[in-house]
Structure 1
Amino acid sequence: MAELVYPPVVAAAKLMFRVLDNRLDVRGTEHIPRHGGAVIACNHVSYLDFIFCGLGAQPARRLVRFMAKQEIFANRIAGPLMRGMHHIPVDRSAGAASYAEAVRRLRAGQVVGVFPEATISRSFTVKPIKSGAVRMAAEAGVPVVPMALWGTHRLWTKGRPRTLTKRHVPISVLAGEPLTPSPGDEPEVVTKELRARMSGLLDRIQADYPEQPASEDERWWLPVHLGGTAPTPDEAAALDAR
C-alpha cells in the first residue's frame, strides 16, 4: 500500500504544533505493537482527536487507519486526504461492510483506530462505549490498546468556538496495557474492562496536566468532578439526545 499522503500530513501536523508550541506529551507507546494488527481505542473530546491519537502511535512507527463517518469522506477537502491516508469510511446505515473492512485490515497487520464512545464527550469523561472495538479485535485475533487524550478539547470541541491557532496549549496522550480478547469472551464484559482502563488513563493525564484554568470563564474545559463547569454526564447525555 503506497503511503504518498499520510507521511506528509503527519509532518505538516507536527510542524504546525511546533509553531504553536502545543506541548505534546506522549507516553505509554511501548504498549503499541511494533508489528502486526492492533486496535487503538481512544476517548473522544475534540474534533482533532484523530490527529493526536495518530501522533500517539508515531513513536511505534505505526500509521493508524481510523474508522470515520462517511460524511467526512464526502467533504471536498477532507475526503481526498482521508482516502489518501487509507482510513475506513463508516456508513452508519450499513455498518457491517465497514466492520468487515476493519477486520480485514487488522488481519493484514494494520493498526485500526476507533473512538468507541461514537461521539464527542461533552462532559470530558468517558461515556458508555460500543463493543465494536472488542468484537473486531477478537475476530481478527489482535490486541486492543486503550488510549486517552487530554487538552485537545481546548482547541476545538462540540459547542465551543474553534481556537486552532491558540498557542502554548499542552496536549497529553497516554496509551495503556493492551487487552487481547478471544472469540469465546463475552464482548460486553471485555468492553466494560476496556472502558475502565480508558477512564483510568484519562484520570491519570488529567491529574498530571500542567495547567489549570486561568479564570472562572476558562473552567468550561474541566469536568465537574475536577471543579469545572462542563456538563455532568447526565446533562451531556440530555444535550446529545436533543
Structure 2
Amino acid sequence: MDISYPVTIAAARTWFKLGDIKINMTGAEHIPEKGGALLAVNHLSFVDYIMAGFPGAERGRLTRFIAKKEVFDHPVGGPVMRSFHHIPIDRSYGAAGMKKAVEYLQNGEIVGIFPEATISRSFLIKDLKTGTVRIAAEAGVPLIPVVLWGTQRIMTKGQKVDLSRHKTIGIEIGPPLPVTGEDPAAETAALKSQMEAMLDRLIKAHPAEEQPPGSWWLPQAYGGSAPTLEEAEAMYAEERRLRAQRKAAKRSADKKRA
C-alpha cells in the first residue's frame, strides 16, 4: 500500500506551483496507463527522481526507481526509499537488484532506471550500461526513453543548491524502443542515440534567457562552460578512486576493531 508516495507527489506539485517551476513535457502518451514499462532516464541532478516520476504521475502511475544500495542505507533516505517501494541495487553485484526490477515489471509496475549509473557532470548523455536493455528484454516490457533538462540548476554535484523561483524543466518521453536482448550492446547504442536526439531538442527548445552564454549548467557544445564528456569522465574516475580508497580504509578499520 502506498501512503507516503502520493503525499510526496502532492508536495512536489505544490513546490512547482509556489516556485513557479514550469514543466514543459511532451510524449506522456507513450507511458502506458496499465501494465509494466521500463523508463530509461538521463541523470543530471539529485532531484531527477522527482522530475522523472512526474510523467507517470500525470498518467495515474507511480514509478519505482532503481537506486544504488547506499541510498537505502541512509538513516533518513533509506526509510523513505523503502516506503516508495523503490529498488536497491549493489554497484558491485547488481544481479539481485536486476531480478527484483524484472519481478516488478512483470507484476505490471512502472520502473525507472538511470542507465548512465551516475550524474553526468557534462550534462550530456554518458555511456549507458547494457543492464537497462537486458532488464526490459527479460521482463518483456516496453523500454521508454525519458530525457530531462534543467534539473541540474536546482541540485547537482559540485554546485550549491538553488531553490530560487522561475525555472523551466523540460521533459521528453520518447516512443518505446523494441528490444530483444539478443544484442544488448547494439540495442543500448540505439537507446543512447535516441536519448541524445531528445536531449538536443530539449536544450534547443529551452528558454534562451535561462541559458545565457557561459552558463555552468550548459554543455560547451551549446555555448556553456560545463565540463566536456572527457573532462567529466576524468572527474568520475577520481570519484571512483576516492570511493574505493574510503571502502578500503573502512575495511581495514573494521579488521582492527575485530
How many angstroms apart in 2 are the aligned matches of 1:36 and 1:215?
42
The counterpart of 2:224, out of the listed 228, 238, 242, is 228
The residue number in structure 1 matching 2:161 is 162
Deviation at 1:213, TM superposition (A): 4.9
How many angstroms apart in 1 are the aligned matches of 2:45 and 2:212?
21
Secondary structure (helix, strand or coil) at the match of 1:160 reads coil
Secondary structure (helix, strand or coil) at the match of 1:172 reads strand
Deviation at 1:43, TM superposition (A): 0.6
How many angstroms apart in 1 are the aligned matches of 2:141 and 2:129?
18
Amino acid at match of 1:196: S
The residue number in structure 1 matching 2:170 is 172
How many angstroms apart in 2 are the aligned matches of 1:135 and 1:16?
36
The answer to whether the 8 A contact 2:137-2:179 is kept is yes
The answer to whether the 8 A contact 2:211-2:218 is kept is no
The residue number in structure 2 matching 1:52 is 51
How many angstroms apart in 2 are the aligned matches of 1:190 and 1:148?
17
- Pairs aligned (count): 238
Q: Which runs of 4+ in 1 moved over 4 A?
A: 213-216
The answer to whether the 8 A contact 1:24-1:171 is kept is yes
How many angstroms apart in 2 are the aligned matches of 1:213 and 1:53?
21
How many angstroms apart in 2 are the aligned matches of 1:43 and 1:49?
8
How many angstroms apart in 2 are the aligned matches of 1:142 and 1:196?
20
Deviation at 1:94, TM superposition (A): 2.5
Secondary structure (helix, strand or coil) at the match of 1:170 reads strand
Amino acid at match of 1:173: I
The counterpart of 2:203, out of the listed 191, 202, 206, is 206
RMSD: 1.3
Unaligned runs of 5+ in 1: none
How many angstroms apart in 1 are the aligned matches of 2:120 and 2:209?
20
Secondary structure (helix, strand or coil) at the match of 1:159 reads coil
Deviation string, structure 1 residues 156-186 (Cα, Å, up to 9, x no partner) = 11111111x2111111111001113124x31
The residue number in structure 1 matching 2:93 is 94
Secondary structure (helix, strand or coil) at the match of 2:79 reads helix
The answer to whether the 8 A contact 1:142-1:180 is kept is no
Secondary structure (helix, strand or coil) at the match of 1:197 reads helix
Amino acid at match of 1:118: A
Query: Does residue 123 of structure 2 align to residue 127 of structure 1?
Result: no
The residue number in structure 2 matching 1:237 is 233
**Residues 1:23 and 1:53: Cα distance change in structure 2 (over 3 Å):** same
The residue number in structure 2 matching 1:41 is 40
Percent identity among equivalent residues? 45
The answer to whether the 8 A contact 1:150-1:172 is kept is yes
Task: Give the TM-score of the pair, scaled to structure 2.
Answer: 0.89
Query: Does residue 140 of structure 2 align to residue 138 of structure 1?
Result: no
Amino acid at match of 1:204: R
The answer to whether the 8 A contact 1:53-1:149 is kept is yes
The counterpart of 2:190, out of the listed 185, 189, 193, is 193
For the pair shown, which has the larger CA radius of gyration, 1 or 2?
2
How many angstroms apart in 2 are the aligned matches of 1:22 and 1:69?
28
Task: Give the TM-score of the pair, scaled to structure 1.
Answer: 0.95
Query: Does residue 113 of structure 2 align to residue 114 of structure 1?
Result: yes
How many angstroms apart in 2 are the aligned matches of 1:148 and 1:102?
20
The residue number in structure 2 matching 1:181 is 179
